[in-house]
Structure 1
Amino acid sequence: MIARQAIQLDHPANTPEQAILAAGNALLASDACTERYVQAMVDNFHQFGPYFVIAPGLAMPHARPEQGALTPQISFIRLRQPVAFGHSDNDPVSLVLGLSATGQDQHIQLIQQLVTLLSNEHTYHTFLHSTDAEAIFSCFTHKN
């Protein structure tokens, strides 16, 4: 679901594009997608707006599988300072979880796994406040 190198804490993004690029580049660094996929994530934001800001403080940028997804994976970027994406209800964003899926079924599975993790109060607290990337990784790899 996630590679250790796809986790970044307190990333210094100042714009939505910088935050999306961080999430995409973390997927790229863990061989989950191509550079074209990362650019498509940013292009989707420009074309469709902040549709992927799905809850208060939470964004899940992604692109279509055929735009360069290689494996199903998530990246985890916690921003140093929240960033406004332009969403009327869910701004500003602190957590950016990039998604790479090679098909619709994988996309749905990743989102279901994330919803399960985010609904656990302890896990969500860890996501927001831990200074240890290994603790974040552990939340993804251990059943709660």
Structure 2
Amino acid sequence: MLVDLITSELIDVKVKCKDWKEAINKGAKLLENKGFIKECYKEEIINNFKELGPYMVIAPGIVLSHARPEAGVNETGISIITLEDPIEFGSELNDPVKLVITLAAKDNTSHLSFLSKLMEILMNTEDLNTLINANEVKDIINIIKKYK
């Protein structure tokens, strides 16, 4: 279940970042601190942005940062950070970003059910707004708990 995957240690709110690279680093660092990924994984995410552009900015204000499993994933995990101030990621349609979701998938399929539940949250306008504007980690946990 999503609530088992996204624990309070993998969430941070109102994070201050100077640019998109720092936002990616801070989201990935939560996963790295818990051993879900190796440091090289966040470097691969940044390289993907540089090479492929802002395709990871999946909707207005939301980035789903990720890289290939072989780029340094130890265990499937998801982190969520909200940004104190919105940041430009280079997406003409969906900038600025306020919600950074970092996905570390151990393989190409096992994360799909979690991703599906996460998309349900993001498609619910009220719950999405609660996520983006959360003042405390528990606000985000409460939203996640609704999606069992």
The TM-score, its normalising length taken from structure 2, stands at 0.90
> Is 103-112 or 78-87 further displaced after alignment?
103-112
> Is 46-55 or 120-129 further displaced after alignment?
120-129
Match of residue 120, structure 1, among 124, 131, 134: 124
Q: Secondary structure at the match of 1:74?
A: strand
1:86-105 superposed matches below 5 A: 86-105=90-109
- The answer to whether 1:84 aligns with 2:99 is no
Q: Secondary structure at the match of 2:37?
A: coil
- The answer to whether 1:66 aligns with 2:70 is yes
Contact 2:121 2:147 in 1 (8 A): no
The TM-score, its normalising length taken from structure 1, stands at 0.92
Query: How much does 1:128 deviate?
Result: 1.7
Cα deviation, 1:92-138, whole Å, max 9, x if unaligned, reads: 10000000001111343332121111123332122022211012123
> Where does structure 2 lack aligned partners over 5 or more consecutive residues?
none
Contact 2:117 2:147 in 1 (8 A): no
Contact 1:6 1:29 in 2 (8 A): no
In structure 1, the residue matched to 2:137 is 133
Percent identical pairs in the alignment equals: 31
Across the aligned residues of Structure 1 and Structure 2, the Cα RMSD in angstroms comes to 1.5
Distance 1:52 1:94 in 2: 13
- The answer to whether 1:37 aligns with 2:59 is no
Q: Secondary structure at the match of 1:60?
A: strand
Distance 1:4 1:66 in 2: 26
